[in-house]
Copies of this chain bind each other. A is one copy, B any other.
Amino acid sequence: MADIQNPAAFVDPVAPRLGYMLRRASLAMMADLGASLVVMNLRPVEATILMLIGVNPGCTQSDIGRALGIKRANMVPLIAGLSARGYLDKAPVDGRSLALTLTATGEEARALAEQITDAHEARFKQVLGGQDPDGLQATLALIAGASF
């Protein structure tokens, strides 16, 4: 029986597992990013969408959904929310699709979100000590792109 009086005696058998540690590291970074973006009342996914439209002006919400792995149906409230806050302009291109661009306010929000994300990332790179963040990035890309 585990000695529950001594928390250190409790063994965590999944700590040495790559997938679980990946998950914990991801949750730690996402929690920090979320906490950092709360000052501008923006969620990480909303910040991502602003950045995506910033570099891809005129894209559609279906484009964004494909890029981020979000279903069309779930893009609707996300775009509606950002639009209601005055961050987005919609222009018909097709008759069925809308070209999305950032308003001036939206561009300000994107720039601030980018700045906050930079600072967030810098904090974690410092934790890495001397290790190469780009090397880690490349390794993670290998894992993210794996298919069996």
User: Contact residues of A with B, CB < 8 Å?
Assistant: 1-2, 4, 7, 10-30, 32-33, 48, 51-52, 54-60, 63, 66-67, 99, 117, 120-121, 123-125, 127-129, 131, 133, 136-137, 139-146, 148
- In the complex, what's the smallest C-beta–C-beta distance from A24 to chain B, in angstroms? 4
**Pick from B18, B117, B123: contact of A121, CB under 8 Å:** B18
A60 to chain B, nearest CB (A): 7
Consensus secondary structure, chain A interface: helix
Of B2, B48, B52, B144, which contacts A21 at CB under 8 A?
B144
Minimum CB distance partner of A7 in chain B: B66
Given contacts A2-B58, A16-B137, A18-B136, 17 further A-B contacts (CB under 8 A): A1-B99, A2-B57, A12-B52, A12-B67, A13-B52, A17-B121, A18-B124, A18-B125, A19-B29, A22-B22, A25-B140, A27-B144, A28-B143, A28-B144, A124-B143, A129-B142, A136-B136
